Structure 1
Amino acid sequence: MIDLSTARILISNDDGIHAPGLKVLETIAKSICDDVWVVAPETEQSATGHSLTLRRPLRIHKHGEKRYSVDGTPTDSVLLAMNEIMKDHKPNLVLSGVNRGGNLGEDVTYSGTVAAAMEATLLGVPAIALSQYFEDSNRVEWETALAHGPDVIRNLLKATWPANTLMNVNFPDLISKLVKGVSYTRQGRRKIGDDLAKGYDPRGEEYFWIGALRSQQEFLQGTDLHAIVNGSISVSPISLDFTDMTTLKKMQEAGQ
């Protein structure tokens, strides 16, 4: 359990230092804690996953008191925040987001938002990734995340969770008063990339553009995807241990 009255919160994202969702998360964080730091990528880093920059130097730019950007990935941002910018007084909670768009199902393996929370978790700090799902990119219900975010975070922090686990929160595409509550869910399945668009550039070179998700899908009850399409806030614990224990046990038994 984290005492928010004495907490130090680091926030980051994958949409970049100037993203509207980051401003929403700053407001959420400052409503529950007095000591909030921002260290985010300098530019958008969506779908970078848990990538780390190793082939070039990274630079930190200061934008104001307790506010910095890093010219790298979300993982780079959290790593430099913890081991350089805040090394003398590290945070005891990391919040990542609020992402413009959901991070549901296997999105978590691609997501830079979730990756920032992963990096914090690996560094021993509890972390929550937050995303605002939308169906129409011209209308993002930021007020929903803003209205419900503080209570969701406070409730999660009343309990403890394993050291290798992060929390993945998604807000539905509804105005705040229509949200049906919070559902604690498992990771669903929904695959992006089935729809490839092929074209040719002005030089006649062929290119491919990864298309959108299939719009009509049914999702299993109890999953993050089912919760979101049915109007609930989804909260999923995500483990960093990818080991399939059932299969491992069978292999060990077969080897005996």
Structure 2
Amino acid sequence: MSFPDNPRILLTNDDGVRARGLKSLQRIAAALSDDVWTCVPAEEQSGAGRSLTLHDPLRVRQTGEREFAVTGTPTDAVLMGIQDLIPGKKPDLVLSGVNRGANIAEDVTFSGTVAGAMQGMQLGIPSIALSQAYSWQAGATLKWETAETFGAPIVRKLMKAGWPEDVLININFPDRPPEEVREVEVTRQGRRNQDIVHAEKRTDPRGVDYYWIGFRGLPQSPEAGDDLHAVMEGRISVTPLHVDLTHMETHHELRGLLGGAPPRE
């Protein structure tokens, strides 16, 4: 893997064309290249994961000289940007984000931000997801300056080093101002000790029940070395992710049990 001096960069996100984090991502990309293109969902697609729009037409609105909004998911946006909307050569790099909120631990399985980077990787383009952690408490402010301060230098180092073709890089910036960020830590994907996502039952003014998916701000006790622990401790987390979900230890055990002709009663 090698990058030209002025790489062509495709930007995407899952927070939509009006997202504040997109401005941060554009600032990061501008420090790396002047050949930057943007193709994002027209509306917020948080939690969309790797979903594709299969049963509705996709429409594109050009929002700037090199900017497009797609009526679909992050996966749709990256697919259309690479295959149709960007003329000439394909992008050298896909950057997805900067997401409003961290994408760590189990988040990566339903994150549209990670999905945008994953689609770029699937199409053979080195891809990086970037997210800015913040507190869910009322009145909390997002510290976009942290991602903007460290984003380009970290991406530049990654581009110089390279990484395998079947890997995407997931970067999470902690909920701290730049001067309080401790260090960069290369981490593994963590796991929360409790399920923080829940469906809250409510009743509308007509007396009909409905549900609202939300997050519980439950205390966590992550393990040292994982992404959740790093971000909680004020470090920038850099995690290499890949698509293969096969658990090889169980795979080997089941081969001995079930391999060969199918069992019959």
TM range (shorter): over 0.9
Does 1:32 find its partner at 2:24?
no
Per-residue CA deviations over 1:83-125 (Å, capped at 9, x if unaligned) read 1012532101000000000001000011100000011011110
Which blocks of at least 5 consecutive residues in structure 2 are unaligned? 261-265
Of residues 152-161 and 41-50 in structure 1, the stretch that sits farther from structure 2 once superposed is 152-161
Contact 1:179 1:233 in 2 (8 A): yes
Give the AA of the match of 1:237: P
Q: What's the % identity of the aligned pairs?
A: 48
Cα distance between partner residues in 2 of 1:125 and 1:66: 19
SS in 1 for 2:161: coil
Is 2:219 aligned against 1:192? Answer: no
Q: Provide TM-score, normalisation by structure 1.
A: 0.95
1:172 aligns with 2:174: yes
Give the residue type in structure 1 aligned to 2:72.
G
Aligned AA (1:78):
V
Distance 1:207 1:193 in 2: 16
Verify the 8 A CA contact 1:7 1:35 in the aligned structure 2: yes
Distance in 2 between residues matched to 1:34 and 1:109, nearest whole Å? 32
Mapped to 1, the partners of 2:65 and 2:256 lie a distance apart of 57
Q: Is the 8 A contact 1:4 1:32 kept in 2?
A: no
Using the TM superposition, give the Cα deviation of residue 32 of structure 1 relative to its aligned residue in structure 2, in angstroms.
Answer: 1.0
**SS of residue paired to 1:98:** strand
Q: How much does 1:4 deviate?
A: 4.8
Residues in 2 aligned to 1:247 and 1:160: alpha-carbon distance in whole angstroms:
31
Aligned to 1:47: 47
Cα distance in 2 between the residues matched to 1:29 and 1:103: 20
Distance 2:184 2:10 in 1: 24
Answer yes or no: is the 8 Å Cα contact 1:164–1:241 preserved in 2: no
- State the 1:197 CA deviation: 2.3
Deviations 1:174-193 (A, max 9, x none): 00011011000011112332
2:86 corresponds in structure 1 to 86
Question: Which is worse superposed, 244-253 or 183-192?
Answer: 244-253
Contact 2:134 2:140 in 1 (8 A): no
Query: Is the radius of gyration larger for structure 1 or structure 2?
Result: 2
Residue 68 (str. 1) matches residue 68 (str. 2): yes
CA 30–2 in structure 1, closer or farther in 2 if over 3 Å, else same: farther
Pair 1:203 & 2:206 matched = yes
Q: Within 1, Cα distance between the matches of 2:226 and 2:216?
A: 17
Which ranges in structure 1 are unaligned for 5 or more consecutive residues? none
Paired AA for residue 227 in structure 1 = A
